[in-house]
Amino acid sequence: MNSALKWMPLAAVIALATAGCARDGFYDDRNIDYVEAQRSAPLALPAGRNVERYRDAMPVPEASGTLRPSERFRAPSPERLVSGGAVERDYVERREIGSDRWLVVGADPGVVWPQLQDFARARGLQVQASDDARGALETDQGRLSVRQGLRAGDSEVRCDQAGRPVAACLDALEQHFSARTATASAASLAGQQIAGEDRLRLEQHGDDWVVQIPLDIDRVWAELNHQLEADFTVEDRRELLEQNPQQHDFLVSYMTVSERERNPLQIIFSPDVRQMSQQIRLVLESTGPEQTVLRAENASERAFTPEDQRELLERVSGLLR
């Protein structure tokens, strides 16, 4: 037998034993990586480039506070994945609030805009005016429009006549987009201009945390309602109890981070011998024509700390990104 092979089992054992001893413990704490991360020099592009051809591929939101290593810090959770029993979201979905109706298409406006133009041509609609920058087509049958959706990578498509949605037109548009795929066409340069909107921002006001959303309150409520119905379905952990489109709020049952992190000793000496969820109201408030604030308000007798508030708002706002 080759003498080198004799030492392979021993080498494998040593490698396994030492691999788990990263940093000061048995497991590598990635939170430290976030705290100790250093800023690198920005990438310099040629000065003579065509600026219209470039935009942020992975935008990073501005931080509302200063991160200090001495503070308790938790690495942000990854975006949710489709669970084993869930169905992947459709390329085209309906949204509504009150009498308003529109479609959400799972592609950027730059991809959807050429498809909307194709729809008008295929239907033989007489285009009276076309605005590439705003993503709007004025036709003899109504106004077709596309704009950036609330979630990144989504578009909102509408068909209106005299300011009211046209049901038959939306049905036809849904069939049209359902026959396409997310990679049906490349984005035009004009269409890319439609997608240049800022998205959500988490801010701290005193002890309270809020989410600033630069969109109309009805659009936000309709999208949040759809996402909560799909995600807040875990019994005793997170559940959607009530939704009120008139008041623009939701009542949820949620197990807070403080409750989830109670240690066995705290549980023993607590009146509650098991982990419990509590009722919290998610409230949307309009602060301007295209400005909405999302708040989380305690609707139970249990404690609701600023850390609990922030963690819940991070999860909910994550459904809208």
pLDDT tens digits, 243-255? 999 999 999 999 9
Q: Which pLDDT belongs to residue 198?
A: 54
Range in 6-15, 197-206, 211-220, 254-263 the model is least confident about: 6-15
CA separation for the pair 263, 65 (Å, rounded): 29
Q: Which pLDDT belongs to residue 251?
A: 96
Residues 99 and 186 in one domain: yes
Residues 187 and 217 in one domain: no
What is the rounded average pLDDT of the residues 263-279?
A: 66
Residues 105 and 209 in one domain: no
Q: Which pLDDT belongs to residue 270?
A: 58
Structure-block tokens of residue 42: 């920005």
| Verdict on whether the full-model pTM lies above 0.75 | no
Q: Select from 91, 52, 58, 57 the least CA-distant residue to 188.
A: 52
What is the rounded average pLDDT of the residues 251-272?
A: 74
What percent of the chain shows pLDDT beyond 70?
Answer: 67
Strand 233-234: give its sheet, edge to edge. 201-205, 208-213, 291-298, 278-288, 249-254, 238-244, 233-234
Sequence length of the chain is: 321
- For the cut 50, the answer to whether the pLDDT of residue 95 exceeds it is yes
Q: Which pLDDT belongs to residue 78?
A: 47
Residues 188 and 248 in one domain: no
CATH number at residue 163: 3.30.310.170
* Torsion over CA: 92, 93, 98, 99 (sign): positive
Kindly give the interhelix angle for 109-122 and 167-178, rounded to the nearest 10 degrees: 110
Residues 264 and 183 in one domain: no
Residues 158 and 182 in one domain: yes
What percent of the chain shows pLDDT beyond 90?
Answer: 27
Residues 161 and 185 in one domain: yes
- Kindly report, residue by residue over 136-173, the tens digit of the pLDDT: 999 988 899 998 888 878 889 999 988 899 999 998 89
Q: Tell me, yes or no, whether 14 lies in a domain.
A: no
Domain that holds residue 127: 92-195
What is the rounded average pLDDT of the residues 291-297?
A: 94
Residues 249 and 304 in one domain: yes
Q: Please state the domain count of the chain.
A: 2
- For the cut 70, the answer to whether the pLDDT of residue 281 exceeds it is yes
Q: Tell me, yes or no, whether 22 lies in a domain.
A: no
Residues 248 and 279 in one domain: yes
Q: Tell me, yes or no, whether 295 lies in a domain.
A: yes
Q: Which carries the bigger pLDDT value, residue 208 or residue 275?
A: 208
DSSP at 57: S
Residues 108 and 183 in one domain: yes
Q: Tell me, yes or no, whether 308 lies in a domain.
A: yes
Residues 283 and 206 in one domain: yes
Q: Averaging pLDDT over each range in 28-32, 68-72, 107-111, 193-197, which range is the top one?
A: 107-111
User: Which of 152, 170, 195 is where one domain is finished?
Assistant: 195
Instruction: Provide the β-strand partners of residue 100.
Output: 97
Q: Tell me, yes or no, whether 45 lies in a domain.
A: no
User: Which of 167, 195, 223 is where one domain is finished?
Assistant: 195
CA separation for the pair 284, 216 (Å, rounded): 10
Range in 4-13, 141-150, 222-231, 267-276 the model is least confident about: 4-13
- For the cut 70, the answer to whether the pLDDT of residue 291 exceeds it is yes
Q: Which pLDDT belongs to residue 180?
A: 67
Range in 40-44, 76-80, 203-207, 266-270 the model is least confident about: 76-80
Q: Which pLDDT belongs to residue 132?
A: 84
Residues 116 and 178 in one domain: yes
- For the cut 70, the answer to whether the pLDDT of residue 193 exceeds it is no
CA separation for the pair 183, 178 (Å, rounded): 12
Q: Tell me, yes or no, whether 138 lies in a domain.
A: yes
Q: Tell me, yes or no, whether 263 lies in a domain.
A: yes
Q: Identify the band that residue 87 occupies on the pLDDT scale cut at 50, 70 and 90.
A: very low
Q: What is the mean pLDDT of the chain?
A: 76
Q: Tell me, yes or no, whether 285 lies in a domain.
A: yes
User: Which of 195, 227, 254 is where one domain is finished?
Assistant: 195
